[in-house]
Structure formats: structure tokens, C-alpha cells
Amino acid sequence: MRPTLNGTGFMFEVLDEFADDFIHYAGTIPDPVLEVGCAYGVATLPALAGGARVVACDMEQGHLDILTDSAPAEQRDRLECVQGQLPGVDFEAERFGAILCSRVLHFLDGSAVDASVRNMYRWLKPGGRLYLVADTPYGIWRKFIPVFEARRERGHRWPGVMIALENYLPNVPPDRPIKGPPFMNLLDADLLTRTCVEAGFRIERASFIDRSDFVGLGSMDGRENAGVLAIKPR
């Protein structure tokens, strides 16, 4: 877990199966691909090494500077770095063959999640692939599970909106504020699927992601993250 420079979270240096699939696929197509919320380039750098043309986007210019310095000189002509933040950042329609947006959407409110996925649909070429990964309440936020599940039962559209994060972290006193985002919007595979389908995507795969490699963060049960692979119809 490598802390981000802006204090919003961490970049996990062990890749999950959705990021692995994005990296492999990116090297097999002629179209450029996009990583949104690239941080230090945990997926961008291996995609470049596999021959992909990558646009790396992050809200923190310092991350992009480190990424550029980390890329081998002979690969930098296939790397474009763009400072920007969802849902405000924008790209040309039908520019990309694939997009990876990993562990970003849970920092957005519901309307911004919907707007961001609609934008990514527009940015993808027909047949393009969208890979989404987000935090669920079943990882380090396990204290929030009863709230999340009760809201789902009552039909809340965004049951994972969580404020006062210190109330839900293990081993953190509730009266000690933590440095981090003002809220999180925890998601699961069903919520990611719904957002993608509403934007026009066809779902190829949706599942929980086992991140039992989160060493030192307490008991895990294999549902720590959720991921979706969605296809823009041709």
C-alpha cells in the first residue's frame, strides 16, 4: 500500500485480475488506452512495457511526474499524461480501445459516478472495454456493513455513502478524526453493473475481488473490492 501524495488513499502495488486483464488487452490492440486515477502507474507502466499506447490521468500532477520519470525513455513516446479529475476531465469521443478506472469511483458521489461512467462510454470506441474496480464495505470498512445492507434493503440508490470515516475503521478511536476524503461511496458488483447498464454497456463480467493480500488490515473474507468488465456495443 503506497500512500498517494494528496492524502486521499493508497495505490496497491499488487494488481487484481481486472487490472491484469486490462494490461494484457492493451498490448493486443492498436488503439490507445486510458488509465483514470493512475497514481504512480501501477497499471500504466506494465501496459507500456507490453507495447500499449497509454493515456495516464490523475488529479495529482506529482503522481504524473513520478510516473513519467519511472517510464523507460524508449517507451515515453507512447505515454501521454493528463492532469484531471472525474467527472470534470474530458477526452474525445471514441478515442480509446479500453479504459481502466481502479479504486476511484468510491471517492465520488452518486451523480458523479453516473456522469463519469457515461463519459467513459462516450470516450470508448464501439467494442471497447471498460474495467472498473471499487472498494466495498466488506474489506477494511466492515463496521459499515450493517448500515450498507440495511440501506440496500430499504432501496437506497447509493447505500454506501459513508461520512466520518474514523467511525468505521478498525483500531481507530471514533473521536479521533483521520486524514482522508470527507466521504466515501462504497460500491459492490451489483451497483457497478447497474451504473454500466444504465450508461449503455453490456456486462461481460462482474464479481467481488479477493484482496486477502491486504496484510495487516484485519480479517478479510474475499469481498474486499468489486470489479466489472463492461463492453460498449458495436
| Interacting residues of 124 by C-beta distance below 8 A, sequence separation 6+ | 94, 96, 97, 98, 99, 130, 232
CATH number, domain at 95? 3.40.50.150
Residue 162 included in any domain:
no
Q: What are φ and ψ of residue 122, in 5° steps?
A: -70, -35
- Burial of 133 (C-beta count, 10 Å sphere; 0-12/13-18/19+): buried
* Cell output for 229: 468488465
Determine the pLDDT at residue 177: 58
Residue 199 included in any domain:
yes
Residue 150 included in any domain:
no
Determine the pLDDT at residue 168: 87
* Cell output for 20: 491484469
Q: Give exposure, 201-231, as e/b (b: 16+ Cβ within 10 Å).
A: bebeebebbebeebeebeebeebbbbbbbbb
Determine the pLDDT at residue 213: 72
pLDDT lower than 70: segments of the chain: 1-13, 171-179, 214-219
Determine the pLDDT at residue 234: 93
Residue bearing cell 493480500: 213
Determine the pLDDT at residue 70: 93
Residue 211 included in any domain:
yes
Structural domains of the chain, count: 1
Determine the pLDDT at residue 13: 66
Residue 155 included in any domain:
no
Residue 196 included in any domain:
yes
* Cell output for 15: 494488481
Domain that holds residue 68: 2-137+187-231
Residue 104 included in any domain:
yes
